């Protein structure tokens, strides 16, 4: 389990972003089930901190649902290694999210002021800049961790030795160098060494 203080700080970062984003996203056309950003973008990225929360939720799902998501994650990894676009493994048949309340920031930071299908999303530049600043805060909070596609991070967290090291707060990037390089993971404390983090 993650320390409660980390989860509270993460939720605080999410809340500040959502409050600030309101001024940009008043014209957003996003609605339940549209899911373009979950199916046609192929970059459901997260931090290790976010992935650890999601893994905990995944392990508490009913067996049938858990197996379905696990198969979808494996398919995601296969698609990504072939440079394809991977539909998010946490979408159900109605394009609704199994983990919406704890979805990673890469999902929270997106919106569009036009219909995405056939056009792509349309976000204001200020909102994009805000998203970048916010994710750097999350990376700074998750200092011993990494960032990358959720499917790869969940696979990494399935490794008991890595999980023990990460949850202890220890930092040994040399131990996952080969995996990280092969799967495009980023070392958080390298890219966001001094981003401001406040509770």
Query: Is residue 197 one of the residues assigned to a domain?
Result: no
Query: Is residue 198 one of the residues assigned to a domain?
Result: no
Q: Average pLDDT, stretch 95-105?
A: 94
Please say whether the beta carbons of 112 and 30 come within 8 A. yes
Domains in the chain: how many in total?
1
pLDDT mean across residues, the chain: 89
Q: Which range of residues forms the domain containing residue 173?
A: 4-191
Task: Return d(Cα 46, Cα 44) in angstroms, integer.
Answer: 7
Q: Tell me how many degrees the CA angle 42-129-125 measures, rounded to the nearest 5.
A: 85
Please say whether the beta carbons of 149 and 76 come within 8 A. yes
Query: Is residue 178 one of the residues assigned to a domain?
Result: yes
**pLDDT digits over 161-188, tens only?**
999 999 999 999 999 999 999 999 999 9
First and final CA of the chain: distance in angstroms?
Answer: 20
Enter the pTM of the model: 0.90
Query: Is residue 51 one of the residues assigned to a domain?
Result: yes
For residue 171, the SS3 value is coil
Query: Is residue 32 one of the residues assigned to a domain?
Result: yes
**pLDDT digits over 7-52, tens only?**
999 999 999 999 999 888 887 888 888 888 888 875 799 999 999 9
Radius of gyration of the chain (CA): 16
CB proximity list for 80: less than 8 A, separation 6 or greater: 42, 86, 149, 151, 152, 183
């Amino acid at each position: 389990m993650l320390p409660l203080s980390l989860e509270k700080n993460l939720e605080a970062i999410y809340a500040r972003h959502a409050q600030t984003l309101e001024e940009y996203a008043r014209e957003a056309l996003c609605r339940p089930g549209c899911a373009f950003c979950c199916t046609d973008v192929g970059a459901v990225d997260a931090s290790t901190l976010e992935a650890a929360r999601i893994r905990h939720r995944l392990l508490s799902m009913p067996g049938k649902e858990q197996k379905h998501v696990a198969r979808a994650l494996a398919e995601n990894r296969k698609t990504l290694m072939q440079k394809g676009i991977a539909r998010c493994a946490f979408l159900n048949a109605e394009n609704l999210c199994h983990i919406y309340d704890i979805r990673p920031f890469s999902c929270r930071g997106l919106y569009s002021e036009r219909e995405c299908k056939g056009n792509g999303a349309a976000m204001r530049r200020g909102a994009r800049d805000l998203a970048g600043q916010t994710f750097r805060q999350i990376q700074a909070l998750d200092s011993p961790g990494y960032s990358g596609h959720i499917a790869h991070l969940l696979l990494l967290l399935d490794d008991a030795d890595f999980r023990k090291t990460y949850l202890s707060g220890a930092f040994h990037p040399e131990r996952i160098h080969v995996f990280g390089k092969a799967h495009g993971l980023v070392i958080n404390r390298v890219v966001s060494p001094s981003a401001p983090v406040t509770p």
